[in-house]
Amino acid sequence: MEFETWWLLGIPIFFGLGWIAARVDIKHLVSESRSLPRGYFKGLNFLLNEQPDKAIDAFIEIVKLDPETIDLHFALGNLFRRRGEIERAIRVHQNLLARPDLPLDTRVQSQYELGQDYLKAGLLDRAEETFNQLVDTQFSGQARRALLEIYQREKEWPRAIEAAKALQEAGAGARQREIAQFYCELAQDELVHTHPDAALALLEQALAADRKNVRATMLIGDAHLAKGEVEQALLAWRRVEQQSVPHVALVAQRLMDGYRAVGRQQEGVNLLKNYLNEASSIELLDVVFKAVLELDGVDAAKQLIVDELKRTPTLLGLDKLLEARMMDAPPEIWEELSMVKNLVHGYTQKLSRYQCSHCGFKARQFYWQCPGCSQWESYPPRRTEELNVMS
C-alpha cells in the first residue's frame, strides 16, 4: 500500500481532539467536586481522623441540605452495622426517617435498614414491628425472612410456621423441612408437659410436611413410650432406618432399652448388630458393646470391638477396645494399660464432636438446629473422626 502525504495532516487533528476530550473530562470532574457540599469533605476528614461521631453529624447535615447524598447514608449505616456499631447505624437510619420530604421508596428502604439494625442489636420487638410494616412493600420477601428468624429466636413456633408457609406461598423456596422442625419443637414441649396425645397430633403434621423427618419419627416413639405403649414405640424407632440408616445411632439406646423392657434383649442386640454392619458408628457400637457385655460376657464384647476396628479403624474405637481389655487384664499390666487408656481417651475427647456441615460449629452433643448458624438438620449423625475416616 502506497503512503499518502495527506495522511500526515490527520495526526495533529487526532491529537487536538484527544486534548479537547481530556479538557472536557477535567472540567466535568472539577465541576462535580465543586458541586459537592463542604460538609461532605468535612465528614470524610472526620472519618480519616477516626472521629466517626463527628463524621455522622457532618453527613446528617449534608442530607438536610442535599437529598442527593442519601445513598451515602445508606452506605455509612451498613458500614457501621457490619462493624458492630449498631447504635450509630440506628442513628443514621432514624435520622433519615425523620425527614418529612423523604421519597416513599427511600423511606421504605430506610425502614428495612433500621429493622436490620434492630435485629442485629437483639431488639426483637422493635425489629418485628418494623418488618411487619414492610410485608406489603417491595421488601416483602426480605421482611418475611427476617420475621421468620425473629420467631425462631423467640421460640414462637406457631408464628414461625405461619411465616414459613407465607414465604413458601410467596415463591421464596420450599420450607417444608423447617416447618416440620417447628412442629417437632411444639411436640417436644408437649412431651415435657406430659401431653403425649397432643404431641402425636403435632408430629403427624410434622411428617405431613416432611415424610423424611427423622426427628418426628423418633419423637413419635417417645410419645408412645410416655403412654406405656412400648411395642408401638419400638415400631416407630425402627422406622428411622427407612428414613436414614446413619440416624439409627440416635435411637440405638432407645431401642435397646425398649427390647429390654419387653424381655427381648437378644432380638434387640441382633437388630443393632445389623445396623452396625450397615452404618458404622461409635455411638451405635457403644450401645451394642454394653448390651453384648451384659448378655454374652467380656470375651464376646471384646471380639465385637476387634471386628469393628478391623472394619473401621478409629481412635474412638481403640479407646473402646482398651476399655474392654482392662475388664479382665492381669494385675501386672493393668496399671500400664490404664495409662495408655487415659492418654487415648484424652485425645479422643477432642475428636468426639459433631460438626455442622454448614458453618463448621463443633459440639459434644447432637443438635437438630446448629447453635452457631441456626441451620436446621446440618449435623451429620456421626462424630468428626468417623466422617474423616469415611471420606
Binding residues: 356, 359, 370, 373
Beta bridge partners of 369: 376
Enclosing H/E stretch for 375: none
Cell numbers standing for residue 25: 473530562
Strands (E), the chain: 354-355, 362-363
DSSP structure string for 318-355? HHHHHHHHHTS--HHHHHHHHHHHHHHHHHHHHH--EE
Question: Which residues, 6+ apart, have CB-to-CB distance to 62 below 8 Å?
Answer: 37, 39, 40, 43, 69, 72
DSSP state of 229: -
What is the grid cell recorded at 8? 500526515
CA of 50: how far to CAs of 43, 44, 54, 366, in Å? 11, 10, 9, 45
3-state SS assignment for residue 195: coil
Q: What angle do CA 44, 46, 50 make, to 5 degrees?
A: 115
User: CB-hemisphere CA count at 13 Å for 138?
Assistant: 7
Rounded CA-CA distance 88/78 in Å is: 10
| Gap between the Cα atoms of 379 and 182, Å rounded | 17
Q: Which residues contact 114 (CB under 8 A, 6 or more apart)?
A: 90, 93, 94, 97, 130
4 grid coordinates: 499518502
> Which amino acid appears at position 377 of this protein?
E
Assess contact for 210 and 177: CB atoms under 8 A.
yes
End-to-end CA distance of the chain: give it in Å, rounded. 68
Q: What is the DSSP letter of 5?
A: G
Question: Looking up cell 433500621, which residue turns up?
Answer: 114
Annotated binding site for Fe cation: 356, 359, 370, 373
